[in-house]
Amino acid sequence: MKTYINLILLSALVFAGCGGKDATPSEKQDETLTIGVMPKLVGIGFFNAAKRGIEEAGRELNVNVDYDGPTTGDVEQQSRLADTWIARKYDAIAIAPNDPDAIAPVLARARARGIKVVAWDADAQKDARDWFINQATSESVARSLMDVMAEGAGEDAKYIIITGSLTAANQNIWMEEMEKYRQERYPDMVNLTPTPIAPGEDQARATQMAADALKTYTDLDGIFAITSVALPGAAEALRRAGAADKVFLTGLATPNDMREYVKEGTVKRFVLWNPVDLGYLAVQAAVASARGELAPGAEAFEAGRLGVARVTDDQILLGPPMIFDNENIDDFDF
C-alpha cells in the first residue's frame, strides 16, 4: 500500500513538473503576455513621450504592459524593480539602463529564467540582453550635433559639453563619436571640457552648472547639452544671462520642452528622434522576441505602424535623427 501511494505521489510530481514547463514561443502566440518596460527615470518629458508609444503598442498587441521606473537616474532602483519583475515571471523586460555594467547581473538573471531582455534608449552589456533598440546610430547623432554647432557657432567654435550621468552608455558613445567627427571634419573646433559637465538627470542642477560655465569660460562660443533634461536646463541659464546672441546652444530634447526657448530665439536648432516611436518599437521588439517572431539571425521584423524594422546583428534601428527649429517645431507634440 505504501509503495502504491509513493507511486501516485511520484506521478503527481512528474505531471506537475510537466504542467509548470515554460510555454514555447508558439504557445505564447495565444497567451496574454506581460511586459515590463522601464525608463531611466519617470516623470520627465522624454520618457513621458516614450510612454505614449509604449502604451499604444501594448494595446495593439493585446499584452499587459507594466511601465515603471525610478524617480531619479538610479540604477540600484532599476535593479530592484527588475528583480520584482523576474519574481513575477514576466515574459519580457525592456529597459533603458542608467549604467550598463551595474544593471548587467539582474538582466542576466532574467535571461537565465527565460525572460527576453530588450535594452532601449541606452544599451546594456551585450551578453545581458537580447536586443538593443537604437534610436539612431551613434555616428548619425554625433554628426548631426557637430554639424548644427558648426553652422551656428562656426567651424572654429570653442564649446563645452553638458551630459547627464557619466555612466550613461548612450551619452558616452555620442561624445566619443563627436570627438572623432570633430577631428575629421572640424579640426579647428576646441572642446573646453574634456571631462564633460554632469548634472545627472536634474534640470535645476543643469541650469546652475550651465550658468557657472558661462562665467568660467569667458571665450565660450557654444554649448552642447546632450540630454532631454540638460538642454532645457542650459537654455534657462542662457535666457537668464541674456547670452543667446553670444553663445550658440544645441543638444537633445523634446520639442515640447524646447518650444518656448526656440520661439524666443534662445535656442535656434536642436536634435532628437521621435521618443513616442522609440517606446512603441521597444514594446514591438519585446513582444516579437517573447513570441519567437524575432530571433537571432533576423534581418527585419514587422513592427506595427512603423512597418518593417531593420535588424543589424543584435540592434534594431529606429531611424536617422531629426533637426528641430522654429520652422517645424509646431508640427510635433511630444
What does the buried/exposed string (b/e) look like for 243-282 if buried means 16 or more CB atoms within 10 Å of the residue's CB? bbeebbbbbbbbbbbbbebbeeebbbbbbbbbbbbbbbbb
Give the pTM. Answer: 0.82
Give yes or no for residue 132 having a pLDDT over 70. yes
Query: Cβ–Cβ contacts within 10 Å for residue 26, how many?
Result: 9
Comparing CA positions, the residue from 93, 27, 33 lying closest to residue 62 is 33
Looking at CATH, the fold of the domain delimited by 28-134+275-319 is given as Rossmann fold (3.40.50)
Predicted local distance difference test score (pLDDT) of residue 31: 75
pLDDT tens by residue, 2-27? 333 333 333 333 333 333 334 454 45
Predicted local distance difference test score (pLDDT) of residue 30: 56
Give yes or no for residue 75 having a pLDDT over 80. yes
Predicted local distance difference test score (pLDDT) of residue 3: 36
One fold for both 28-134+275-319 and 138-272? yes
pLDDT tens by residue, 279-322? 999 999 999 999 999 999 999 999 999 999 999 999 999 999 99
Residue 28: which pLDDT band, with cuts at 50, 70 and 90? low
With a CB cutoff of 8 Å and minimum separation 6, the contacts of 159 are: 149, 153, 189, 190, 191, 192, 220, 221, 222, 223, 224
pLDDT tens by residue, 97-128? 999 999 999 999 999 999 999 999 999 999 99
Domain ranges of the chain: 28-134+275-319, 138-272
pLDDT tens by residue, 240-281? 999 999 999 999 999 999 999 999 999 999 999 999 999 999
Q: Burial of 173 by CB count in 10 Å (0-12 exposed, 13-18 middle, 19+ buried)?
A: middle
Calculated CA dihedral for residues 260, 263, 264, 269, nearest 10 degrees: 100
Predicted local distance difference test score (pLDDT) of residue 252: 98
Which CATH superfamily includes the segment(s) 138-272?
A: Response regulator (3.40.50.2300)
Predicted local distance difference test score (pLDDT) of residue 19: 35
User: Would you list the DSSP string of 84-138?
Assistant: HHHHTT-SEEEE--S-TTTTHHHHHHHHHTT-EEEEESS---GGG-SEEEESS-H
pLDDT tens by residue, 133-163? 999 999 999 999 999 999 999 999 999 999 9
